[in-house]
Amino acid sequence: MKSVIEISIAAQRLRLREGNRITMDVAVSTAKNGAGEINGSECTPRGAHVIRAKIGAGCAPDTVFVSRRPSGEIYTPALRRQFPQRDWILTRILWLSGLEVGKNRLGKVDTMRRYIYIHGCPDEDVMGVPSSHGCVKMCNPDVSELFDRVAVGTRVIINELSQG
């Protein structure tokens, strides 16, 4: 059965479709700067993507990742107070790669070179409200479930439409 992840920037939701059925529908948080593809914009890129890599299999919930590697830390609010400027990437990473040359692939619009992920975040981060630096943030149980249900190569469609 073919899976597709659909992300609505307008609705701040992620849906997993397996065949014709929606098997997951959860709140997420996309970029506080809105939609956009330009490197350095801190916007969430639109269009057709694919999961290029899955990172974090077997890691504990709240594992902190730095440059896509476990840092050896487990996230706590105290750690956040210690490092208030960190962009917290936790638990699992689904690294996205654009499929549309000139829109989200190659040159100054390359999603993969922008390090755009679907990833976990601190429990206190509010879902359903744009707040990321371009990535798609999910609560940790949701990103763990999604990670376990999709494969490298799964299509990811990011759009600005409300979901029906």
Q: Structure tokens of 54?
A: 């899955």
Pairing of strands 117-120, 136-138: parallel
The mean predicted confidence, pLDDT, of the chain is 96
Percent of the chain topping pLDDT 70: 99
The reply to whether 84 falls in a domain is yes
Q: Given the structure tokens 């960190």, which residue do they identify? A: 86
Is the Cβ–Cβ distance between 51 and 65 less than 8 Å? no
Split at pLDDT 50, 70, 90, the class of 162 is confident
Count of structural domains within the chain: 1
Q: Is 139 or 161 the better-scoring residue by pLDDT?
A: 139
The CATH number of whichever domain residue 37 belongs to comes to 2.40.440.10
Q: What residue type is 79 in one-letter code? A: L
The reply to whether 164 falls in a domain is no
- Sequence-distant (≥ 6) Cβ neighbours of residue 130 within 8 angstroms: 9, 12, 29, 30, 31, 32, 34
What pLDDT sits at residue 164? 54
The reply to whether 15 falls in a domain is yes
The reply to whether 67 falls in a domain is yes
What pLDDT sits at residue 82? 96
The pLDDT tens digits of the residues spanning 2-26 come to: 999 999 999 999 999 999 999 999 9
- Supply the range of the domain harboring residue 151: 3-159
What pLDDT sits at residue 163? 63
Angstrom distance (rounded) from CA 108 to CA 96: 15
Q: For residues 124-144, give the mean pLDDT.
A: 97
